[in-house]
Amino acid sequence: MPVSHPTVYEPLTEQGAIALAIRLGLFPEGTPLACREIGDGNLNLVFRVVDQQTKKGIIIKQALPYAKVVGESWPLTLKRSVIESNALRTFASYVPQYVPKVYYSDESLAITVMEDLSHLQIARKGLIEGKTYPLLSQHIGEFIAKTLFYTSDFGMNQQEKKQLAQSFVNPELCKITEDLVFTDPFFDHETNNFEDELRNDVKALWDDDKLHLEVAKLKHKFLTEGDALIHGDLHTGSIFASDEETKIIDPEFAFYGPFGFDIGQFFANLLLNALSRPEQQQEPLFAHIDKTWNVFVSVFSDLWHSHNVEPYAKTEGLLEEVLHYVFIDAIGFAGCEVIRRTIGLAHVADLDGIEDKEERLQAKRHALRLGRSLILQRETLSATEEIRSLFAQAALA
Ligand code: SR1
Ligand code: MG
């Protein structure tokens, strides 16, 4: 049966993905190809097209015009596909070792064709299985430091930065974060999703004026601070890993945002995994948080001294001031992420996968108390090592 070659948007089928791979010349003629839709995220279709003989493949990711996690009732811009491919290309210009290669992208079809990373595992899945990924924090710390520095007013021409920021204006995807991370979980909103047994704990958050004020400040930073090109959704499901390699995927939420946001989301998702583990297996997660921060500070500071374009860079105290607010913001953003992944629309398998109901509820209560402490106590912390004691205190009812 002849397969048509669409040039206007329509969702791909597995056969359509094979036809596209052939049309793009990504495989030699006559290659026996197989394809499977493997997307398990909240938003997109992901096709893996494989040469059945060599087992080498490519990934074709296609945005759907709605949020898959909710359905067609939640329309969503296809432009996120261009944001994603452009973000991957921008990140690749600074840290090619940490992102998949982009082979092709097409705005009208909302597709990005990229390197197949199936030899790696989604970090969230591996962490749930108890893996520790020894190089994860070294790599993520370096990825964040370099991408933030080089796309900021410290690391690039300040006029070009404004142009680049314009090309990453991403209002619809930012709105998802503004609502799902910073707003809905803190109010009685229909998108929230939690067990009935947690209602009293959740209601306490909804009635907590002190907490609301701090979350409002963090949300305001997310709304207004355009420090650098951030990934915008750097949870452990956006990371492929092995013991040797790390690749960051899915930057469809990328935009010019606050320095601390990606660090905070990454910390939060390590903490969500720690919450799902027995106490004696939690330390590697805390160690990853420490190392991510230490690597970030070291790489960002080296670049600051060697590649800074801002005349005030040598002014005593400026770097320390920037690092101080990145740290405090990251801890606060982490708190919001921990809370929203527990009671908001988009949960994480780390917590939802705890089979025993009582244990699961206990872990979720612990998460809510931890998220609240991270937000309220962020300005009292001076080092990531102190997160361990916040975590321990939050375990006590
Ligand atoms: C409707 S999208 C829900 C969540 O999935 C994405 O990965 C983001 O984290 C978003 O908040
Ligand atoms: Mg994603």
Same-domain pairing of 106 and 75: yes
Q: Does pLDDT of 96 surpass 90?
A: yes
Count structural domains, the chain: 2
| 1 falls within a domain | no
**Residues facing residue 113 across a β-bridge:** 60, 104
Q: What is the ipTM of this complex?
A: 0.98
Task: Tell me which of 173, 181, 233, 342 to substitute to probe ligand 1's pocket, judged by most ligand atoms within 8 Å of the beta carbon.
Answer: 233
The pLDDT, as a whole number, for residue 42 is 84
Ligand 1 pocket member 17 (CB < 6 A): no
Secondary structure of 142-204 as H, E, C letters: HHHHHHHHHCCCCCCCHHHHHHHHHHCCCHHHHHHHHHHCCCHHHCCCCCCCCCHHHHHHHHH
Percent of the chain with pLDDT over 70: 98
Supply the CATH number for residue 217's domain: 3.90.1200.10
Which among 65, 93, 115 is the end of a domain? 115
Across the range 87-116, mean pLDDT stands at 98
Pick from 25, 73, 227, 202: nearest CA to 145: 227
Q: Does pLDDT of 39 surpass 80?
A: yes
Dihedral sign computed on CA atoms, order 10, 14, 19, 22: positive
| 95 falls within a domain | yes
| 6 falls within a domain | no
Segments forming the whole domain that contains residue 361 = 121-395
Ligand 1 pocket member 176 (CB < 6 A): yes
Same-domain pairing of 218 and 327: yes
Ligand 1 pocket member 12 (CB < 6 A): no
Ligand 1 pocket member 336 (CB < 6 A): no
Q: Does pLDDT of 138 surpass 60?
A: yes
Find the range with the poorest average confidence among 2-6, 46-50, 131-135.
2-6
What burial letters (b/e) apply to 63-90, b meaning 16+ CB within 10 Å?
Answer: bbeebbeeeeeeebbbbbbbbbbbbbeb
- Using the mean position of ligand 1's atoms as its centre, give its distance from the Cα of residue 55 in Å: 31
Pick from 31, 61, 53, 48: nearest CA to 119: 48
**Residue 1 banded pLDDT, cuts 50, 70, 90:** very low
The pLDDT, as a whole number, for residue 2 is 47
Across the range 196-216, mean pLDDT stands at 98
Find the range with the poorest average confidence among 42-46, 67-71, 276-280, 331-335.
67-71
Supply the CATH number for residue 95's domain: 3.30.200.20
Same-domain pairing of 69 and 139: no
Ligand 1 pocket member 34 (CB < 6 A): no
Q: Can you tell me which atom of ligand 1 is nearest the CA of 76?
A: 1
**Residues facing residue 57 across a β-bridge:** 50
Ligand 1 pocket member 76 (CB < 6 A): no
The pLDDT, as a whole number, for residue 290 is 99
Ligand 1 pocket member 69 (CB < 6 A): yes
Q: Does pLDDT of 122 surpass 80?
A: yes
Q: How many CB atoms lie within 10 A of CB 285?
A: 23
Nearest CA to ligand 1 atom 2: 42
Whole-number Å distance between alpha carbons of 340 and 346: 7
250 Rama class: left (phi>0) / alpha (psi -120 to 50) / beta: left
Q: In this structure, are residues 41 and 250 in contact, taking their beta carbons and an 8 Å threshold?
A: yes
The pLDDT, as a whole number, for residue 70 is 87
Ligand nearest to the CA of 249: 2
Same-domain pairing of 35 and 171: no
| 2 falls within a domain | no
Kindly tell me the burial class for residue 209, based on how many C-beta atoms sit within 10 Å of its own C-beta (0-12, 13-18, 19 or more). exposed
**Helical pair 318-343 and 260-275, crossing angle rounded to 10 deg:** 40
Same-domain pairing of 140 and 83: no
Q: In this structure, are residues 230 and 261 in contact, taking their beta carbons and an 8 Å threshold?
A: yes
| 3 falls within a domain | no
* pLDDT 10s digits, 147-189: 999 999 999 999 999 999 999 999 999 999 999 999 999 999 9
Same-domain pairing of 186 and 100: no
Across the range 256-265, mean pLDDT stands at 99
| 236 falls within a domain | yes
Which among 96, 115, 134 is the end of a domain? 115
Neighbours of ion ligand 2 (CB under 5 A): 41, 250
Same-domain pairing of 76 and 135: no
Same-domain pairing of 209 and 338: yes
Same-domain pairing of 211 and 337: yes
Q: In this structure, are residues 271 and 341 in contact, taking their beta carbons and an 8 Å threshold?
A: no
Ligand 1 pocket member 193 (CB < 6 A): no
| 219 falls within a domain | yes
Same-domain pairing of 50 and 187: no
Same-domain pairing of 85 and 134: no
Q: In this structure, are residues 211 and 372 in contact, taking their beta carbons and an 8 Å threshold?
A: yes
Same-domain pairing of 86 and 142: no
| 316 falls within a domain | yes
The pLDDT, as a whole number, for residue 68 is 85
First to last CA, the chain: 64
Q: Can you tell me which atom of ligand 1 is nearest the CA of 181?
A: 11
* pLDDT 10s digits, 188-199: 999 999 999 999
Which among 115, 135, 170 is the end of a domain? 115
